[in-house]
Amino acid sequence: MTLLEKVKIGVFKCGNIGVSPVFELLVDELAQREDITVRTVATGSKMGVEDVEEALPKLFEFDPDLIVLISPNPAISGPARVREFLLKTRVPGIVISDGVAKRIRNELEKQGLGYIIIMGDPLIGARREFLDPIEMAIFNSNIIKVLAVTGVLRILHQEIDKLTAILKEGLPLTLPKLLVDTDTIRDNSDFQNPYAKAKAMAAYELTKRVAEIDTRACFLEKDREKYIPLVACAHEIAQAAAKLAEEAREIEKYSDTLVRKPHSKKGEPLTKTELMLPPIVDKEIYRRWLEMSRP
């Protein structure tokens, strides 16, 4: 196999989490990569068994080199059905999910699946008195901003980039087993200013809190007087988190130390800091990626 082969990434989305809406764009933000093809099949906000059974086979017809399942709570029957499917094929598969998935980590490992579990990707405040399409979109907007600024989306695309690189090199694939928590942000971030990092961590902690509150408001509280204030409170926290994240990013702008890592046309990892300078290939990280695949 050679460096020039094109990797085909198959994405299956059932239900929605914060990273779902922009996932495919992360790996090819400039729409110029010549080394990958992305195909997505999705079932909207629904994640029933029948949705999966009808939709998933279409994705396999694209003959993907790598399958990514993005879904909340992969333990429930619909997404679980996807995982069973993945077992039957020989296509390497990764599950990207929210904090609820933490419970089935062992199971995922047994099934030979990679996973990226994002602890700060929270449940939405899904109560009919509160959630309409607009509120839903705003919530996603806020969560996307937090996941972007804190570097969660960076981790996400670099994991896929690494797999793509390994597949292109024809090396043995080790699938990621990642739980993205505040520590991950603390220990793996591009922030140059420590207060910016602290604010980003704070933003992430807030989205984790959102998850806890919305879970209670959606599943435990039965009385409207009780759950409406809770979902409203959770979405206010999401908005506060987005502001904190924005503030963190502004700090880096203020000293022109904001790190950017675009993809080259060939899919190489580029990196840059000063705004007016061009990005350069990050050979070090590329080398590490390939190394990690070696025994």
Question: What is the footprint of a second copy within residues 33-62 (CB under 8 A)?
Answer: 37-47, 51, 54-55, 58, 61-62
Residues 6+ apart with CB under 8 A from 137: none
Q: Is 36 left (phi over 0), alpha (psi -120 to 50) or beta?
A: beta
Residue 162 in the binding site for a second copy (CB under 8 A) = no
Q: Mark residues 166-205: x for contact with a second copy by CB under 8 A, - for none.
A: ----------------xx--x------xxx-xxx-xx--x
* Contact (CB, 8 A) for 183 and 155: no
Closer residue to a second copy in complex, CB, 111/272: 272
Beta pairing class for 114-118 and 66-70: unpaired
Closer residue to a second copy in complex, CB, 115/130: 130
Query: Residue type for 60, please?
Result: F
* Contact (CB, 8 A) for 122 and 98: yes
Alpha-carbon Rg for the chain, nearest whole angstrom, is 19
> Nearest approach, Cβ of 172 to a second copy (angstroms)?
26
> Nearest approach, Cβ of 295 to a second copy (angstroms)?
30
Closer residue to a second copy in complex, CB, 18/108: 18
- Interaction residues for a second copy, span 122-161 (CB under 8 A): 126, 128-138, 140-142, 144-145, 147-149, 151, 153-154, 157
> Nearest approach, Cβ of 169 to a second copy (angstroms)?
22
> Nearest approach, Cβ of 174 to a second copy (angstroms)?
22
Burial 250-263 (b: 16+ CB within 10 A, else e): ebbeeeebbeebeb
Strand ranges for 34-167 from DSSP E? 36-42, 66-70, 93-98, 114-118
Closer residue to a second copy in complex, CB, 110/224: 224
Query: Residue type for 86, please?
Result: L
Q: How far apart are CA 102 and CA 105, in angstroms?
A: 5
- Interaction residues for a second copy, span 78-117 (CB under 8 A): none
- Interaction residues for a second copy, span 216-255 (CB under 8 A): 224-226, 228-230, 232-237, 239-240, 242-244, 246, 249, 251, 253-255
Residue 21 in the binding site for a second copy (CB under 8 A) = yes
Q: Mark residues 248-287: x for contact with a second copy by CB under 8 A, - for none.
A: -x-x-xxxx-x-xxxxx-----x-x-xxxxxx--------
- Residue given tokens 């992430």 in the structure block: 204
